[in-house]
Chain A
Amino acid sequence: MRDELKQLYQDTILDHGRKPRNFRVIEDADRQQEGFNPVCGDRLTLFLKLNADNYIEDISFQGVGCAISMASASLMTITLQGKHIDEATAIFQQFHQLVTHHTLRADNTAGAEHKQEEPDMSMLNKTKLRVLAGVSEFPSRVKCATLAWHALDHAINTSDKTSGERVSTE
């Protein structure tokens, strides 16, 4: 496989794409949110269980999609178990930078655009989410990597128990 592709399809991603973790229904979920990418047909449902202080007691998902979207959803659920929803939102923002920001490439070539300040991604440091950095080289795949996260964002920022509205990455 070519280098850029190896960055994209790292073993961790292939592993989580094949065997996504927390791939299950939470029967007594407080929030349930569907995410859909009409362009490629990727579709998932996110389940969220919160405690009284808005900490994530349990988070899971089910769905169909490419290796990138499944791995991203899987890694997201692992990372966010036990986190406060504000922290989850902050992690989402940093993750969004990770998959859209080109300065994180290992094989950076010098250039004006790379000299700009690196965004703060400190919250991702000890997570496996960084394996998805390769996505930033593939603009057409950013939507795959962020599908579960947009569903999460919508689930957190809506007061309805279950939103009938479907989050779309289009």
Chain B
Amino acid sequence: MNAFDVNRIRADFPILSTHVHQRPLVYLDNAATTQKPTAVIDAMDHYYRHDNANVHRGLHALSERATQKMESARREIATFINARRPEQVIFTKGTTDALNLLAHSLSQVLLQADDEIVITHMEHHSNIVPWQMACERTGAILRVVRINDQGELDRDHLNELLSAKTRIVSFTAISNSLGTINPVAEIIQQVRQHPDVDVERIAISVDAAQALAHQAIDVRALDCDFLAFSAHKAFGPTGIGALYGKADWLERLPPYQGGGEMIRTVHFDKSTYADIPHKFEAGTPAIAEAIGFGAAIAYLKRFAFRDIIEHEHRLLQRATDRLLDQPGTRLIGEAAQKAGVISLICDEVHPHDLGTLLDFEGIAVRAGHHCTMPVMERYGVPATVRISLSLYNTIEEIDIFCDALSRVRKPFRE
């Protein structure tokens, strides 16, 4: 029997049997957010029904239980990305929050005027704007690595941009609008081995939002200094994510927000801060969400990534072949190494119209710029229709989508 049985997987996700506009839901917007398995929904439900209390401060049984469950989620996540210690996983509101924390704290210890931050042209706005804001605060300069027509990173240009002034390199593992899979380990090696780079004074950060549910992540093998990701793109709840960091970096960084939970002592003349990870976790955390995050990771661990990759690649191949058969279709992003993301343009129909028309077929796609306006500008398009795949999608769904696309665009042809 095939260990990877998509019908059995679909049964884990209650929403997948729902109907939209009287049609069975075909959910192809997984890069925006994934659906949630019963295991995650139940874990959060169980917490509120049986364990709800504030963490890390109560002496009573419920508080201890809540604390234990939240810290167990942290351990689950740390193991999943092969962090040395659970304390290296800081809970945040999501990837955006993690990158803002990082940009804010890092800029205080690392950046001076004329220092340089290197990002890439394919970044999500959340891996652009926090660094721009850091530049505004410190006088540092943002450098952007070019991408080629296929949507792949121009590694020669990266080499040109790296210098003794480079303090931060931040890039995505997988592009959310192009689907490009970046060779993360190779890029990190390239940065660290660059002759001009000051290896003692450079931090490398990876945006893993689109990667977490689609490829194995080993932070020690990658040798990244930081890694940011969200739960909700990997079957977990919204409102929770994490920032992984090397311990010496995290200990060096100043806190991002002040408040309860993040302190050791508070006096009006001076306060001292808690150890990591709590130094970065001011206020009552999203406890149920953290537990749901842990449950999502536990769910993901049931699968072998090679099965997920193989399955999603098969879907990607089918969709790519069938879409290219439709006249007047252009794919944006044709990297040799591609995740299950297809951005497309139909000559005669605007992406927004397609989004509405496909919705009435029960098909959920994203139409817009996908929070990557520079990518849209690079390819000279205002927006695209994007389908993004997950382990629970089927070949039949790809066919339903391709057939529907062909049907709904007909009235727009002259």
Contact = CB atoms under 8 A, between A and B. Distances in A.
Interface of A: 1-2, 4-5, 8-9, 14, 17-18, 39-43, 64-68, 138, 140-141, 144
A66 B357 CA distance: 12
B19 to A, nearest CB: 14
Contact of B351 (A4, A5, A40, A141): A40
Using C-beta atoms within 8 Å of the partner chain, give the interface range for chain B: 20 to 34
Given A2-B360, A43-B382, A14 B411 contact: yes
A39 B383 CA distance: 9
A40 B411 contact: no
Interface in B366-414: 367-369, 376, 382-383, 408, 411-412, 414
Contact of B356 (A39, A42, A64, A138): A138
Contact of A42 (B21, B352, B411): B352
A141 B356 contact: yes
Given A18-B348, A18-B414, A65-B350, 8 more contacts: A2-B21, A9-B411, A18-B412, A39-B368, A40-B382, A42-B382, A65-B382, A66-B351
Contact of A66 (B350, B360, B408, B411): B350
Q: Is the interface of B mostly helix, strand, loop or mixed?
A: mixed
Nearest to B410: A1
B411 A41 contact: no
Contacts of A68: 352-353
B356 A41 contact: no
A41 B382 contact: yes
Interface in B340-359: 348-353, 356-357
Interface of B: 21, 348-353, 356-357, 360, 367-369, 376, 382-383, 408, 411-412, 414
A55 to B, nearest CB: 33
Contacts of A42: 352, 382
A39 B350 CA distance: 14
Contact of B411 (A1, A43, A64): A1
A9 B408 CA distance: 11
Contact of A64 (B382, B408, B412): B382
A40 B360 contact: no
A95 B414 CA distance: 28
Closest 10 CB pairs of A and B: A41-B382, A66-B350, A66-B352, A41-B383, A66-B353, A40-B352, A67-B353, A2-B360, A5-B360, A40-B368
Nearest to A1: B411
A67 B414 contact: no
A133 to B, nearest CB: 16
Given A40-B352, A42-B382, A67 B412 contact: yes
Given A1-B411, A41-B376, A67 B350 contact: yes
B356 A40 contact: no
Contacts of B351: 40, 66
Given A39-B368, A40-B368, A41-B369, A144 B352 contact: yes
A40 B353 contact: no
B383 A40 contact: yes
Given A2-B360, A5-B357, A138-B356, A67 B349 contact: yes
Contacts of A4: 360
Interface centre among B21, B349, B353, B369 (most CB of A within 10 A): B353
Contacts of B349: 67
Contacts of A14: 411-412
Interface centre among A39, A41, A43, A138 (most CB of B within 10 A): A41
Interface centre among B348, B356, B357 (most CB of A within 10 A): B356
Nearest to B21: A2
A144 B350 CA distance: 12
26 contacts: A1-B408, A2-B360, A4-B360, A5-B356, A5-B357, A5-B360, A9-B353, A9-B357, A9-B411, A17-B353, A40-B351, A40-B352, A40-B368, A40-B369, A40-B382, A40-B383, A41-B369, A41-B383, A42-B352, A43-B382, A64-B382, A66-B352, A67-B353, A68-B352, A138-B356, A144-B352
Nearest to B382: A41
A77 B353 CA distance: 22
A41 B353 contact: no
Nearest to A40: B352
B360 A41 contact: no
B368 A41 contact: yes
A41 B376 CA distance: 9
